Structure 1
């Protein structure tokens, strides 16, 4: 079970994708979680496609958050 305000990092130094993402999900009054990682979208993918793929990835590991509300989502190029 996810504890309130839990923060988890899913990226490892060897898994660098073309984009960096942060996703916060909340079950109001019960739990919240933030995860981040890297992702390389397929050619022709939209931001919505990336969001759906990332959310599905996160909720596959945390099925209790499948019906959670998205509080924050960011997807940016993974270069400085």
Structure 2
């Protein structure tokens, strides 16, 4: 049996997180897939495309084999409820 416990996280400082939460999945068909996520505060005036390119380049720098991968999922949302 598996149980899940939920706890309040009001003690986590939001200042330590970026203004936006992102998720990006890249796939090399038949060879592999990589999903990464995090938070980031884009520079003033940045577009969604600008952020996408920066994040994709970030993943490729960590995983060079993903340089020619297809993007199968990208989400960028304000990091606020």
Q: TM-score scaled to structure 2, two decimals?
A: 0.79
Q: Which structure carries more strand by proportion?
A: 1
Displacement over 3 Å in runs of 4+: none
Shift of 1:54: 0.6
Unaligned runs of 5+ in 1: 1-12
Across the aligned residues of Structure 1 and Structure 2, the Cα RMSD in angstroms comes to 1.5
Question: How many matched pairs?
Answer: 68
Secondary structure, aligned partner of 1:36: strand
Unaligned runs of 5+ in 2: 1-12
Alignment-derived partner of residue 61 in structure 2: 60
Whose radius of gyration is greater, 1 or 2? 2
Shift of 1:34: 0.6
Q: Distance in 2 between matches of 1:57 and 1:16?
A: 18
Q: TM-score scaled to structure 1, two decimals?
A: 0.80
